[in-house]
Each structure stands twice: as C-alpha cells, then as structure tokens.
C-alpha cells in the first residue's frame, strides 16, 4: 500500500482539478446496491441546495449516469478541453457518452487509469463546490487510480442491509482508511418497502444493518433510503427522485443526507482552518510580549 499512499501525496501536490473545493467518492463493496442511483440523487440534491456540483462517472465498465440524468448528447470540445454535459443543475462526464451501449469495454488497469486521468485533467469543470465521483463496485483499479490522482475530501459507502453487502462494504471502508481518505459515512439503501395501498412496512433485505455496521466501524450513519418503484422509474427516465417527486419520503431522505454530508465537510474545513490551541500558544511565544 506504500505506492498508493505515495500517489495520494502526489495528487495533493499536483491537483488535476484545482477549481473544485471538495471531492467525494461514492463507493460500494459490491454491485447491485444502488450506488449510482445514490450518487445521482446526492449530486442533484446538493445542486438543489444551492451548491455548484459536478458528477464524474468513474464506473467505466457500467456507465449508467447519462441515462439516469437524462442526457444522450456527447460533450463538446473547446480549446482542447471537454465541456461537461449538464442536467438538473449538475455538470457530468461519463464513458457512456463515448462508447455505444452494446459495446463492452475490456480494458486493463493502465487504460482505466488514463481514462480517469483525462476525465479530471481534460474536462473543463469550472468552479465547483463538490465533485462527486461514482466509483465502480469493489476495490480495484479505478479506486486506486482515484486515490492516486485526486486529493479526496471523503468517501460515502453505500450498502444494503443484508449481511453479504455489509461484509463487502467493510472491505471498501478499509481500503479508504489505508489510503488515508476520511469516510463521511454509510448509507443504507433499499432499507425497507412501504406498501402504497395498505401502508404496511416490509423489510425485504432486513434493516438496520448499515447503522450497526457504522457504529461498529466508528463512522457516521448518514441515513436509510427505502425501496420504491418511483426511484427506479425516475432513474430509467432521467429524472432523479429528488426532482421527480421532491416532497416524497424518498426524496426527503436523500436531501437530509445531502445536508449531513455538506455539514460534515464544512465542519471539517472549519477545524482545519482554525488554529489549534497549541499552535496559537506557540505563535504568541515566538514574539515578545507587547510586540507585533
């Protein structure tokens, strides 16, 4: 892991996205937990709260973000840079713009690294408050490349309540810890289902596992997202639930998580900017009493 840490240090020294304040990786230990759905709704939710937001689809093997955001037109070029597509107030880039839907990618690690590097360096992101990075599932090449190329502000882990998903999410969390990336928290997706006719609550994949895992691992629990057909319909039609039905409990759950993430990041930034008591004391000792 020494190479990864060295790469992360280099990323901090040579920032490929200097106009972006905060970078957030959205990750999952395994596929099928709704990670991209969560990433899309968090990006749009943060934009609805007034932030300048970008969304980078780093899942080069399964790039679903363009469909979920309702964008089909490839980005244009200007002065040697790609102009990101825009939808629902969010700038976005994805391999899905450049590869036909029926064409599978069979790239090895170095090609993935190069593609991610280009998405960072060669895209005109402009001034952003947040760049969310939708990672592929697991702990492979894309994750290591992001850790080497970007000074990540933090990571969000998406899981479902069942044991197998939680087991894999712990591996993802351990990976971020090894490359010194703070984990902002765990989101439990597909937490429960509320019947639209009778109102009965059904815990299809169990529930509460994400919160228990967060407590055990010592990271924040950001919230639960229920299963609802409207989320799937919105994703298929390019209308995230936070836009399609902003008053729904599902949309409100996403918006609450957006508020928690931004609050945690701002709080951490304030702690970093504020001089520690010992630092303030040393500053006073270095200059004579009554001096300037």
pLDDT at position 227 is 86
Tens digit of each residue's pLDDT (9 = 90 or more) over 133-144: 999 877 667 777
Average pLDDT, the chain: 81
Tens digit of each residue's pLDDT (9 = 90 or more) over 202-251: 776 666 777 888 888 888 999 999 888 899 899 999 999 999 999 998 99
Question: Given a cut of 90, is residue 20 above it in pLDDT?
Answer: yes
Choose among 3, 6, 24: nearest CA to 268: 24
pLDDT at position 279 is 41
pLDDT at position 280 is 40
pLDDT at position 217 is 82
Among all chains, which residue has been given the structure tokens 């599978």? 104
Cβ neighbors of 146 (< 8 A, separation 6 or more) are 25, 58, 116, 133, 135, 152
Give exposure, 116-135, as e/b (b: 16+ Cβ within 10 Å): beebbeebebeebbbbbbbb
Q: To which H or E segment does residue 221 belong?
A: strand 221-227
Mean per-residue pLDDT for 152-156? 93
Question: Whole-prediction pTM value?
Answer: 0.83
Tens digit of each residue's pLDDT (9 = 90 or more) over 156-189: 999 888 766 677 777 777 888 888 889 999 999 8
Q: Could you tell me how many helices (H) and strands (E) the chain has, helices first? A: 11, 11
Bridge partners of 22, per DSSP, are 130
pLDDT at position 204 is 67
> Mind listing the domains of the chain with CATH numbers?
2-286 (3.40.50.300)
Among all chains, which residue has been given the structure tokens 């596929």? 31
Among all chains, which residue has been given the structure tokens 């949309």? 251
Share of the chain above pLDDT 90, in %: 41
pLDDT at position 165 is 67
pLDDT at position 179 is 83
CB atoms < 10 A from the CB of 286, how many? 8
Mean per-residue pLDDT for 47-61? 94
Q: Which 3 state secondary structure label does DSSP give 36?
A: helix
Cβ neighbors of 39 (< 8 A, separation 6 or more) are 26, 55, 65, 132, 134
Tens digit of each residue's pLDDT (9 = 90 or more) over 113-124: 888 899 999 999
């Amino acid at each position: 892991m020494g190479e990864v840490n060295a790469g992360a240090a280099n990323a901090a020294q040579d920032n490929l996205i200097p106009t972006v304040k905060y970078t957030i990786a959205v990750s999952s230990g395994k596929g099928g937990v709704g990670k991209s759905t969560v990433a899309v709704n968090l990006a749009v939710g943060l934009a609805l709260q007034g932030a300048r937001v970008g969304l980078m689809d780093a899942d080069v093997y399964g790039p679903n973000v363009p469909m979920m955001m309702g964008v089909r037109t490839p980005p244009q070029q200007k002065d040697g840079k790609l102009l990101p597509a825009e939808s629902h107030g969010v700038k976005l880039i994805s391999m899905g713009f450049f590869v036909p839907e029926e064409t599978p990618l069979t790239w090895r690690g170095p090609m993935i690294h190069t593609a991610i590097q280009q998405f960072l360096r060669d895209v005109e992101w402009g001034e952003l408050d947040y760049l969310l990075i939708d990672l592929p599932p697991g702990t492979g090449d894309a994750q290591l490349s992001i850790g080497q190329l970007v000074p990540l502000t933090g990571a969000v882990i998406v899981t479902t309540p069942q044991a197998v998903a939680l087991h894999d999410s712990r591996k993802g969390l351990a990976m971020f810890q090894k490359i010194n990336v703070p984990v902002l928290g765990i989101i439990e997706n597909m937490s429960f289902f509320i019947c639209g006719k009778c109102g009965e609550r059904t815990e299809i994949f169990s529930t509460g596992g994400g919160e228990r895992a967060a407590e055990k691992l010592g990271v924040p629990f950001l919230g639960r997202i229920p299963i609802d057909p409207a989320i799937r319909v919105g994703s298929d039609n390019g209308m995230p639930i936070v836009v399609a039905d902003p008053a729904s409990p599902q949309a409100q759950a996403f918006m609450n998580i957006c508020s928690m993430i931004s609050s945690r990041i701002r709080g951490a930034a304030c702690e970093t900017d504020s001089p520690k008591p010992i630092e303030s004391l040393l500053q006073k000792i270095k200059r004579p009493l009554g001096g300037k």
